[in-house]
Structure 1
Amino acid sequence: MSSTFLYGANIAANGIRQHYLRYGGTSGERGARAAVIVIPGITSPAVTWGFVGEVFGASFDTYVIDVRGRGLSEASPALDYSLDAQADDVVALAAALGLERFALVGHSMGARIAARAALRSPRGLDSVVLVDPPVSGPGRRDYPGKLPWYVDSMALARKGTDAEGMRAFCPTWTDEELRLRAEWLHTCDERAVLASYEGFHTDDFHADAAQLNVPSLLITAERGDVVRDEDVAELQQATPAMQHVRVPDAGHMIPWDNAAGFYAAFGTFLGAPLEQQSLTAAAL
């Protein structure tokens, strides 16, 4: 297929500069569907989710965002990196873009942001997809990812490293994926990452998920121990309408491990299926 990438841009929303990458646009059938805002995880700038944006863009007007303190969005020592601030960013971004209808698709930290943003009942929110959200929180087991993994890899990236330097942290990733991470990881503000990681253990994701009042889909990884079967059962008991799909042969970074399974897990939940296709040489 041809690339669905349109452009990258910055917008002033919620008092900060927010950067996003846009895919697809509103031509054809996409214009009749809700737009999609993709919210990446704790150390994932938007560009590292570009390959996902390409697929979403074939069916939806898609915006992959840089969460504050990551990528090209605003970062500073004085910036609030709390979950509430991140959720308010998403709501303000959708309003500033003038999106009449939209869905939130959040991965890991992004899923927690999506759930908290949904509690604001923003105008136009159609649905929420929570992809392998950390279910840690007050009185619960710790998040399985350990803080030194993030801190050490970011420190290496700030010094300057290459794909081989990243391989020790992400041994199953392809050379292309490792090069991209080595190039962009330095844009993740350590203060933002530390605040979000602390929030994994102090913010109550289960309470947020239980209050969802729009259609919701939970997508989890077969491996990685982030969301166990008993966690799924608890979430669905609190929100009986929540759908769930477990993606086989995948760890926490689901689209990296099993892209086809990741896209298939959405089914027609967003209004149209996602189909993974190879980009033509001219589009690369």
Structure 2
Amino acid sequence: MGAITYEELRVPVRGGHLTVLRWPATVRPTTPPSPSSSSSSSSGTAPGEHAPTVVALHGITSNALSWAGVARRLAGRVTLVAPDLRGRAGSSSLPGPYGMATHADDTVALIEALGLRDVVLAGHSMGAFVAAVAGVRHPDRFRSLLLVDGGVGFPVPEGLSADDLLTAVIGPAMERLKTTFPDRAAYRAFWQRHPAFDGSWEPWMEGHIQRDLVGREPELRSSCLLDAVRADGADTLDEETARAIHRLTVGGELLWAERGIMNEPQGLYDDQRLKSAGLADTPIHPREVPGTNHYTLLLGDEGAGVVAESLLRATVGVGRTRV
């Protein structure tokens, strides 16, 4: 399967412009390609033909290129649109306030700016919480939701502040934002040592991590604004955000990883946690993805394939298509 190219756009939102990546559909929806098809070999959509569209939202310290592996697996069968969320990468200059409602409204602003309709909204980690909030605030905009290891609230233990819980959940990521790196190779080595990847390294991950870097050698750093991450992290733990999934009228699916952020045996979710969260009373249907952790469910090859399969089912009703 060859490389899938994307275009970079800027769309108006409050306070400036949101940077958005778009992998256009290149295959007619009525003629699904073989698994080896790519954008360079496909026939393209006819003028005015409505291609299924996915808008995909990244995690709290990530960027739009976290969806590159999924784009490769989709192989031009749908249009995939992924923004750098406010405070990250190409959108790092956008001002606050941050939070799930702001990101949700930014998402709808890009949908309007690009003239999208009948959208499937996907989100990974924090992006899944944004997707749930967007589904509540703008239900008429979305065909369905795909939540990837996020979107279902976490119980805050009594006596533990939101800041303490945020540190417990994404402490290593917060430390990365405070760290400088002498060159791009050092940043790559940092990620290759991450327990989540266990020595594995997919080709599209290079672009994802390098997109995150700003500054000059020998003081390169993450583009993610610490204030944005703190505000957004606290908001994911807010009771109002946790209630969003229970207020949805838009249906969809939750894919949850077997293992956690640092590849620990306990993932963010399990059957008991989802039961306690009352997921059975929502229009979101859970599915465990064995053999994945919080990162590899999106960034790993097998995980990206599962996500792409779910998106294809949601957009064009292709059933359990091999991707």
TM-score band (shorter)? 0.7 to 0.9
Gaps of 5+ in 1: 277-284
The 3-state SS of whatever aligns with 1:103 is strand
Query: What is the CA–CA distance in structure 1 between the aligned matches of 2:139 and 2:93, rounded to whole Å?
Result: 25
- Indicate which of 151, 160, 163 corresponds to 2:188: 163
* Partner residue of 2:68 out of 36, 44, 50: 50
Give me the whole-angstrom Cα distance separating, in 2, the residues matched to 1:265 and 1:27.
18
Closer/same/farther in 2, CA of residues 215 and 57 from structure 1, 3 Å limit: farther
Asked if the contact 1:23–1:57 (Cα under 8 Å) also holds between the matched residues in 2, the reply is: no
Code of the residue aligned with 1:236 in structure 2: it is L
Shift of 1:203: 4.4
The 1:120/1:236 distance shift into structure 2, 3 A limit, reads same
Does 2:273 align with 1:231? Answer: yes
After superposition, what is the alpha-carbon deviation per residue over 1:90-135, rounded to whole angstroms, capped at 9, x for unaligned? Answer: 1111111111221100000000000001112254311111111154
Instruction: Calculate the TM-score normalised by the size of structure 2.
Output: 0.74
Residue matched to 1:280: none
Asked if 1:191 is matched to 2:227, the reply is yes
- Partner Cα separation in structure 1 for residue 123 and residue 202 of structure 2: 25
State the Cα deviation string for residues 221-266 of structure 1 (Å, max 9, x = none).
1112211212333443221x42221101001111334333443455
C-alpha distance in structure 2 between counterparts of 1:82 and 1:118, whole Å:
15
Paired residue for 1:270?
315
Q: Which residue of 2 aligns with 1:38?
A: 56
The question of 1:243 aligning with 2:288 is answered: no
The verdict on how the C-alpha distance between 1:153 and 1:43 changes in structure 2, with shifts beyond 3 A counting, is: same
Change beyond 3 A, Cα 1:102–1:199: same
Query: Pick from 214, 219, 225: which aligns with 2:250?
Result: 214
Q: Percent identity?
A: 23
* Pair 9,275 (structure 1): closer, same or farther in 2 beyond 3 Å: farther
Structure 2 residue aligned with 1:125: 142
* 1:50-199 equivalent positions in 2, closer than 5 A: 50-56=68-74, 58-75=76-93, 78-133=95-150, 135-137=152-154, 139=156, 142=165, 146-157=169-180, 160=183, 161-170=186-195, 171-172=197-198, 173-174=200-201, 176=203, 179-180=206-207, 182-185=209-212, 186-199=222-235
- 1:29-48 Cα deviation digits (max 9, x unpaired): 27445310010101111123
How far apart, CA to CA, are the structure 2 residues paired with 1:155 and 1:74?
16
Whether the 8 Å CA contact 1:167–1:178 is kept in 2: the answer is no
> Cα distance, 1:80 vs. partner?
1.0
Question: Matched residues in 2 for 1:167 and 1:43: separation?
Answer: 17
- Runs (4+) off by over 6 Å: none
1:252 aligned onto 2:294: yes
Contact 1:163 1:175 in 2 (8 A): no
Verify the 8 A CA contact 1:4 1:24 in the aligned structure 2: no
Deviates most, 34-43 or 248-257: 248-257
- Cα distance per residue 1:45-96 (max 9 Å; x no partner): 11232222233352211101111111101435x5211111111111111111
Matched residue type, 1:214: V
The answer to whether the 8 A contact 1:24-1:61 is kept is: yes
CA distance in 2: counterparts of 1:67 and 1:75, whole angstroms: 11
Specify the code of the residue in structure 2 equivalent to 1:166. Answer: W
Q: Secondary structure at the residue paired with 1:156? A: coil
Distance 1:212 1:271 in 2: 22
Call closer, same or farther: CA 1:202–1:214 in 2, change over 3 Å: closer
What is the count of residue pairs matched by the alignment? 274
Gap regions ≥5 residues in structure 2: 30-44, 159-164, 213-221, 261-266
Distance 1:156 1:175, change over 3 A: farther
Instruction: Give the counterpart letter for 1:28 in structure 2.
Output: R
* Aligned residues of 1:40 and 1:108 also touching (Cα < 8 A): yes
Helix, strand or coil at the partner of 2:131:
helix
Contact 1:106 1:114 in 2 (8 A): yes
Of structures 1 and 2, the larger Rg is shown by: 2
